[in-house]
Amino acid sequence: MTGRPFLYSRKILHLMLIFDNHLHLRPDGDYIRAVEEFRRAGGTHLVLCHLPMVERVVAEKSYLPAYRETLRMAEEVEEATGVGIYVTVGPYPADYLRLRDSLGREAAREVMRRGMEEAAHLCQEGEAIAIGEIGRPHFPVDEEAWEDSNALLRYGMETAADAGVPVVLHTESMGSDGFLELAEMADAAGLPRERVVKHFSPPLVSLEKNHGLFPSVLATDRAVRLALEQGTRFVMETDYIDDPRRPGAVLGPKTVPRRTRQLLEEGVMSQDDAHLIHQANPERLYGITLD
């Protein structure tokens, strides 16, 4: 193979927008360096998802100061790198367990419900684009925690419906049946299914499989190829967690632009596909304009 296809796709990549739909940052991690890596690889825009700061929430008995820290980081990173940063904020589902241990069950539920409302307010003020990630723990928990987590998830969906904003869901691993459960939960809350973003989604792109939810597909080679076989109604994410103890987990910050370039080069993804996945879909999903 000559270098020609690579150079051609690289040129294309730098003429288009490249969007990572779910990434975390922390000041004691790679932080700005991670976003610089994303930019140098061809990335242009990303969603900074609120990093769990449960000890701070326990101390403050409020999520708002922690949300403000995430918004501050977004502003600092955007200024330093020139990458377009959008923010989602919400009570991380596993926080419930630590809050219950520290504050008791009723207080834990109240702090998390208020956290949903604070997140919705920041969305309405234009400081964030969605409530998330909310949902339920991805690991086994006791019956009380599972019951309360589902109640909080329903409250988050209702809050998002009232505010007219999307939700970003963190849940256990699931297939099509799990998507249907969440879709029916959204229906009951009055939240349009297409405004429910399934973070860390398997490649369930066809409507028959995802029941109208919007998949944010982890940008592994296999998952994106399987997603493209079904269509382009998805976005790509790394779920990069910026943890010094786990460098590059879940996927590194260069993954989305590199995966896009690879698939363009191979002809698996077309320029039109890339435009839909990286620009048209996020714009429609979040009500934003990428430029």
3-class secondary structure per residue, the chain? CCCHHHHHHHHHHCCCCCEEEEECCCCCCCCHHHHHHHHHCCCCEEEEECCCCHHHHHHHCCCHHHHHHHHHHHHHHHHHHCCEEEEEECCCCCHHHHHHHHHCHHHHHHHHHHHHHHHHHHHHCCCCCEEEEEECCCCCCCHHHHHHHHHHHHHHHHHHHHHCCCEEEECCCCCHHHHHHHHHHHHHHCCCHHHEEEEEECCCCCHHHHCCCEEEEECCHHHHHHHHHHCCCCEEECCECCCCCCCCCCCCCCHHHHHHHHHHHHCCCCHHHHHHHHHHHHHHHHCCCCC
49 contacts 168 by C-beta, under 8 angstroms? yes
- Domain assignment present for residue 257? The answer is yes
Q: What is the mean pLDDT of the chain?
A: 95
284 contacts 235 by C-beta, under 8 angstroms? no
Interior/surface letters 261-283, b for 16+ CB within 10 angstroms, e for the rest:
bebbbeeebeeebbebbbbebbe
Q: Strands of 45-49's sheet, edge to edge?
A: 19-23, 45-49, 84-89, 130-135, 167-170, 196-201, 214-218, 235-237
What are 203-219's pLDDT values in tens digits? 999 999 999 999 999 99
Predicted pLDDT of residue 10:
54
Q: Return phi, psi of residue 200, to 5°.
A: 55, 45
Predicted pLDDT of residue 15:
66
- Domain assignment present for residue 6? The answer is no
Q: Return phi, psi of residue 99, to 5°.
A: -65, -40
Predicted pLDDT of residue 11:
55
Residue 8 has pLDDT above 50, yes or no: no
- Domain assignment present for residue 291? The answer is no
Residue 1 has pLDDT above 50, yes or no: no
Confidence band for 14, pLDDT divided at 50, 70 and 90: low
- The total domain count for the chain is 1
- Domain assignment present for residue 73? The answer is yes
- Domain assignment present for residue 137? The answer is yes
**Per the structure block, which two tokens stand in for 221?**
């080679």
What are 28-70's pLDDT values in tens digits? 999 999 999 999 999 999 999 999 999 999 999 999 999 999 9
138 contacts 169 by C-beta, under 8 angstroms? no
Say how far apart CA 219 and CA 257 lie, in whole Å: 10
145 contacts 96 by C-beta, under 8 angstroms? yes
Confidence band for 4, pLDDT divided at 50, 70 and 90: very low
Predicted pLDDT of residue 6:
45
What are 76-117's pLDDT values in tens digits? 999 999 999 999 999 999 999 999 999 999 999 999 999 999
Say how far apart CA 189 and CA 244 lie, in whole Å: 39
- Domain assignment present for residue 57? The answer is yes
Say how far apart CA 136 and CA 148 lie, in whole Å: 9
Structural domain containing residue 274: 11-286
What are 179-202's pLDDT values in tens digits? 999 999 999 999 999 999 999 999
- Domain assignment present for residue 2? The answer is no
What are 257-276's pLDDT values in tens digits? 999 999 999 999 999 999 99
CA count, 13 A, side-chain hemisphere, 124? 12
* CATH value at residue 107: 3.20.20.140
- Domain assignment present for residue 93? The answer is yes
Predicted pLDDT of residue 248:
85
Amino acid at 158: E
